[in-house]
Amino acid sequence: MNLFGNSTQFFVDFVPKLPMLILGLLAGYIGIKIVVMSIRKGLRLVRAPKPMIDIALPLSTAVLWIIFFSEFARHLGLSGIAVTFSGLLVVVGLAISNGAAATVSDLIASVFLAKDRDFSVGFKVKFEDKTGIIKAVDPRKVRIETNDGHIIIVPTSKFDSTGWEVISKNL
């Protein structure tokens, strides 16, 4: 009988909060959609490469949902769940920072390469033991087509730190 009384009390306490819970979830959903849409427009405004946008949007959406559910649980008095979501956010942050080191290094190297007068698409270069023509450059990779038609794809940070020899600047 006591078990029935406890579950009845739970429903008596929970049912009046249900409209506010639904409204809170709806507001969170709309708020996250607006923020993600703003991030998308901002990335397009600064002409971020499509692969970067494809990574940034789901990542930011996941982080926003984790923050939302953490705060939502805290307001419901479920502090144990809120702490779990906060811990998950820390783990996600550590994973991002660990993986972002190479990306940041590549992005910085691509800026230096873009400013280098001895580096441009169409230049024939020797990189390590391969010779070819620079076919494409993006913030993360340099693509070189070798004399035998192979494409070598090198991270910009490695290309910049290793160095290259310019064979010809025929564009």
16 and 83 both lie in a single domain: yes
Tokens of 108: 């910085």
The pTM of the whole model exceeds 0.75: no
- Helices in the chain by DSSP H: which ranges? 2-14, 18-45, 50-75, 79-115, 156-162
Domain that holds residue 84: 2-115
pLDDT at 167: 92
Number of domains in the chain: 2
The whole-number pLDDT of residue 132 equals: 94
- Share of residues in the chain with pLDDT > 70 (%): 81
92/14 same-domain check = yes
Are 62 and 92 a contacting pair, CB within 8 Å?
A: yes
- pLDDT value at residue 1: 47
Question: What angle, rounded to 10 degrees, do the helices at 50-75 and 79-115 form?
Answer: 160
Q: What is the pLDDT of residue 96?
A: 66
Whether 144 and 63 map to the same domain: the answer is: no
Q: Residues 45, 110: one domain?
A: yes
- The string of pLDDT tens digits covering residues 8-38 is 766 676 677 778 888 888 998 999 999 999 9
Least confident of 67-71, 89-93, 126-130: 89-93
Q: How far is 169 from 171, CA to CA, in rounded Å?
A: 6
Whether the CB-CB separation of 111 and 146 falls below 8 Å is answered with no
Query: In the prediction, which pLDDT does 7 show?
Result: 62
Same structural domain for residues 19 and 48?
A: yes
Domain final position from 70, 93, 115: 115
Confidence of residue 101 (pLDDT cuts 50, 70, 90): confident
Task: State whether 158 and 90 are in the same domain.
Answer: no
- 48 and 65 share one domain: yes
State whether 8 and 56 are in the same domain: yes
Are residues 28 and 71 in contact, defined by beta-carbon separation less than 8 angstroms?
Answer: no
**Residues 96-101, mean pLDDT to the nearest whole number:** 69
**Report for 5-19, 35-49, 91-105: range of highest mean pLDDT:** 35-49
23 shares its domain with 106: yes
Q: Which of 96, 115, 134 is the last residue of a domain?
A: 115
**Cα separation of 76 and 118, whole Å?**
61
C-alpha to C-alpha distance for 155 and 80, rounded to whole angstroms: 43
Residues 159, 97: one domain? no
